[in-house]
Chain A
Amino acid sequence: MTGRAKAVGQVIAVTAVVGLLVLLGWKLAFGNGGGASAELAGGGTPVAPDFTLPRIDTEGGDLTFSSLKGKAVVVNFWASWCVPCKDEAPELQKTYEKYRDQGLVVLGVDAKDFREDGKRFIKRFGLTYPNVDDGRGSTLGKWGVTGFPETFFVDREGRIVGEVIQGGIDLERNRERYAEGIRLALGDSK
Chain B
Amino acid sequence: MSRLVIVVVAALVLATAAVAAGPPVQADLEAEIVCPTCKTTLDQSNAPIAVRMKGYIRERIAAGDSAAEIKAQLVDQFGPGVLAEPPKRGFDLLAWLLPLGAVAVGVVVVGALAVTWSKRRSTDGEPSDARLDPELERRLDEELDRFEG
**Using a CB–CB distance below 8 Å, which chain A residues touch chain B?**
1-2, 5, 8-9, 12, 79, 81-82, 112-115, 117, 135-138
Contact = CB atoms under 8 A, between A and B. Distances in A.
5 A-B pairs with least C-beta separation: A136-B79, A81-B48, A135-B77, A112-B36, A81-B49
28 contacts: A1-B116, A2-B116, A5-B113, A5-B116, A8-B109, A9-B109, A12-B105, A12-B109, A79-B49, A81-B48, A81-B49, A82-B48, A112-B36, A112-B37, A112-B49, A113-B49, A114-B52, A114-B77, A117-B52, A135-B77, A135-B78, A135-B79, A136-B77, A136-B79, A136-B81, A137-B78, A137-B79, A138-B79
Contacts of B113: 1, 5
Contacts of B48: 81-82
Instruction: Tell me the dominant secondary structure on chain A's binding face.
Output: loop
Given A81-B48, A138-B79, 5 more contacts: A112-B37, A114-B52, A136-B78, A136-B79, A136-B81
Contacts of A113: 49
Contacts of B96: none
Nearest to A112: B36
Nearest to A82: B48
A173 B11 CA distance: 69
Contacts of B37: 112
Nearest to B49: A81
Interface of B, helix, strand, loop or mixed by DSSP: helix
B25 to A, nearest CB: 22
Given A112-B36, A135-B78, A5 B112 contact: yes
Contacts of A112: 36-37, 49, 78
Counting chain A CB atoms within 10 Å of each CB, which of B49, B52, B56, B113 scores highest? B49
Nearest to B117: A1
A168 B36 CA distance: 22
A2 B115 CA distance: 10
A9 B37 CA distance: 40
Given A2-B116, A9-B109, A12-B109, A137 B49 contact: no
A115 B81 CA distance: 17
A107 B81 CA distance: 26
Nearest to B35: A112
A118 to B, nearest CB: 10
A59 B50 CA distance: 27
B125 to A, nearest CB: 18
